[in-house]
Structure 1
């Protein structure tokens, strides 16, 4: 079977390196202008050159997002930005605005163009239309079911890309005005404040100031929230439909998310491509995805559904991301950089590329000056002695106790919701 591309997010240079290390065939990232994830790390021109060297150095591809919808006064700024990008060997631009597409074709006509999910492409004739406009690949709307994808594949010859994992949106492929209305930050200009994740209540008009939870629950409700997409269980059907690229959502997610999710889909896609008839999913793959912060998973959407909402949309996460291996000494010791606080005598687990997993009972740590330390803080660097050889880019995590109280977002230190 031909190799199906695995496309992973790269919110910054660190995440890009891990995405490549953990098996991505291509990465997508945003420059300093006109991307749709402004709060995520963005890449200046020098950083883009460095990212290209990393990606192309290991035979992978790099796509740049230019998928914001522009206002009339921004077109001259776009033209200048495209001129500055022309010397770079980017593998494709990801666009959604037809005006942006037309300017790319005028200024940089040799550049490959991919259509963003933000364009809400939901049928075969639409894909064919975009192909006639010079689009090489269409990232289909996240609102599509597996049956929809199969039908579209039969109706177009353009390359097709579909999301396999990550957040869904309350609005059609992110075309949402909620953030702009509540905060002044436009989702369609890359500054979404994600108010669909906030907790809401209702007010009866004759009782101003009294807030009633919509559900009988002490937490209130997340009225606009949706489930997360996880198409691991449906991967054979998705790949058999003829999809060319499987995309992981999450440029604003953590290092741990990028590594853990990418390595699972790398293993699953490789197994299916090697033997579609005899393919059997490894139970470890789904168990690994459950160890990453996520809302309840859904593997497919009903045809015609814009998003799926559930009463219980709390984040789940069974493990905490603790540290990343930054260096390996000649004597086997590893220098790790903390992401969450942990003790030097804890039971942890190491994960690495190719689904490599190793239990590790820690037995002491030394700081960079060689002094013993018992508690490792976020961003601190300490030397540890592992029970087996490790590699730069390996990650340390620990299982979270059932009564952990507040849930932390993948080591980001942000309180999300109570247990």
Structure 2
């Protein structure tokens, strides 16, 4: 094992300003966001320039960075205004942009020559010669294709002095790093310009010879077929990527909830910090695995990191029943004298419910709600109204922005 390992950056998704703040509060070293143009998540909240400035100011207060994804594959009509857009990103304080298209790299260099450029996973970088090409073009960081193995990463780092960013958790595209036209064909929404309808995740019947033959292979008792992958998770194998030299460990999910972002970031932050406390004696904690499953929406796989994926890594047949958790409330305040927490309701909860509180640094405890009051201090049985302010008697001290969840 290398003796002088560099602690990697933990990079989290942020679909809007609230998610950005939660990602950083729960331990992200950097976040990546989308603006109103040139990004692949057109349905995410996405940021105005004013929101970017606020996000950058918040991040820098915690020593974190903000990157903007401008990773579409551009057509001619997409190029108008690109130079000005990058200048505005630079003026907003953005630390780097993630780009796939050479035309947009050029636009960035012309509009904001001091703005750092990272090459997106959309560029499908899967070998050291390609990484070397971008290094020679003055690019400091490349985001690898999801199709590379741990051994290939190790070789790239040995042969090229370039920063490597690699995905550790989240959804996998069934096509080669997003190069897909299913969505275009079926919905006229361009997957490579931010409009993916996720057609691979739809359910399909199987037919003998295509559209002109109505001989159906499957029957009503069969599980319908999808073309979808399980989600990536490296929670059990993170030291392998650290020791291979990955500089930035990336979580997918700009469209996910703040509960998902906080939970996943919290787990990987704990793993990274625990590993670097004593690499030689690092041991995986089952509690980290259990915690990841509280945010998981699909079965999990290590994808291409160790072997070529098989049918076992696909979402096929009846899905396993994963435990489902509701983000029930957000802690706004805590009174240590009364042991009462002020909680903003995010999902229905009430007296008699078993809930779990959690927060940064892998803080957790479970309890049953025994006392619940509305904002005026009147006792109530349930918090039924969205975003209502409540008071809850808690068994242990809690802090601002701790979360409360309950199993469905």
Correspondence for 1:376: 383
Q: Where in structure 2 are there 5+ consecutive unaligned residues?
A: none
Correspondence for 2:397: 389
For 1:221 and 1:306, the matched residues in 2 are separated by 16
Where 2:204 maps in the other structure, the secondary structure is coil
For 1:234 and 1:5, the matched residues in 2 are separated by 16
Q: Shift of the alpha carbon at 1:235?
A: 1.2
TM-score (norm 2): 0.91
For 1:327 and 1:163, the matched residues in 2 are separated by 33
Match of 1:150 among 149, 154, 160: 154
Correspondence for 1:251: 254
Q: Shift of the alpha carbon at 1:203?
A: 2.6
Correspondence for 2:268: 265
TM-score (norm 1): 0.89
Per-residue deviation, residues 102-135 of structure 1 (Å, max 9, x unmatched): 1111111111111111111001110111112221
For 1:316 and 1:390, the matched residues in 2 are separated by 31
For 2:402 and 2:345, the matched residues in 1 are separated by 12
For 2:394 and 2:297, the matched residues in 1 are separated by 29
Correspondence for 2:325: 320
Q: Shift of the alpha carbon at 1:313?
A: 7.1
Correspondence for 2:131: 127
Correspondence for 1:404: none
For 1:92 and 1:354, the matched residues in 2 are separated by 27
Correspondence for 1:50: 54
Contact 2:263 2:292 in 1 (8 A): yes
Match of 1:106 among 104, 110, 115: 110
- 2:291 corresponds to 1:283: no
Where 1:131 maps in the other structure, the secondary structure is helix
Q: Shift of the alpha carbon at 1:167?
A: 0.8
Correspondence for 1:228: 231
Quickly say closer, same or farther: Cα 1:313–1:70, change in 2 above 3 A.
farther
Q: Shift of the alpha carbon at 1:336?
A: 2.3
For 2:340 and 2:221, the matched residues in 1 are separated by 49
For 1:185 and 1:378, the matched residues in 2 are separated by 36
- 2:367 corresponds to 1:360: yes
Q: Shift of the alpha carbon at 1:386?
A: 1.3
Contact 2:329 2:347 in 1 (8 A): no
Correspondence for 1:297: 300
Where 1:148 maps in the other structure, the secondary structure is helix
Q: Shift of the alpha carbon at 1:86?
A: 2.9
Q: Shift of the alpha carbon at 1:98?
A: 0.8
Correspondence for 2:244: 241
Larger CA deviation: 310-319 vs 37-46? 310-319
Quickly say closer, same or farther: Cα 1:183–1:138, change in 2 above 3 A.
same
- 2:176 corresponds to 1:176: no
Per-residue deviation, residues 241-298 of structure 1 (Å, max 9, x unmatched): 0110100111111111101111111111112222221111111111111122332211
For 1:211 and 1:354, the matched residues in 2 are separated by 53
Q: Shift of the alpha carbon at 1:64?
A: 0.8
For 1:218 and 1:24, the matched residues in 2 are separated by 43
For 2:109 and 2:385, the matched residues in 1 are separated by 46
Quickly say closer, same or farther: Cα 1:378–1:175, change in 2 above 3 A.
farther
For 2:160 and 2:385, the matched residues in 1 are separated by 49
Quickly say closer, same or farther: Cα 1:212–1:363, change in 2 above 3 A.
farther
Per-residue deviation, residues 191-235 of structure 1 (Å, max 9, x unmatched): 111111111111335985675548x9554222x110111112221
Q: Shift of the alpha carbon at 1:88?
A: 1.8
For 1:293 and 1:378, the matched residues in 2 are separated by 26
Per-residue deviation, residues 361-409 of structure 1 (Å, max 9, x unmatched): 1013222233333222362322212111111221212234xxxxxxxxx
Where 1:86 maps in the other structure, the secondary structure is helix
Quickly say closer, same or farther: Cα 1:144–1:358, change in 2 above 3 A.
same
Contact 2:183 2:189 in 1 (8 A): yes
RMSD, aligned α-carbons: 2.2
Per-residue deviation, residues 39-90 of structure 1 (Å, max 9, x unmatched): 1110101110110111001111111111111111222221232232231211
Where 1:41 maps in the other structure, the secondary structure is coil
Contact 1:115 1:135 in 2 (8 A): yes
Correspondence for 2:406: 398
Where 1:392 maps in the other structure, the secondary structure is coil
Q: Where in structure 1 are there 5+ consecutive unaligned residues?
A: 401-419
For 1:91 and 1:163, the matched residues in 2 are separated by 20
Where 1:76 maps in the other structure, the secondary structure is coil
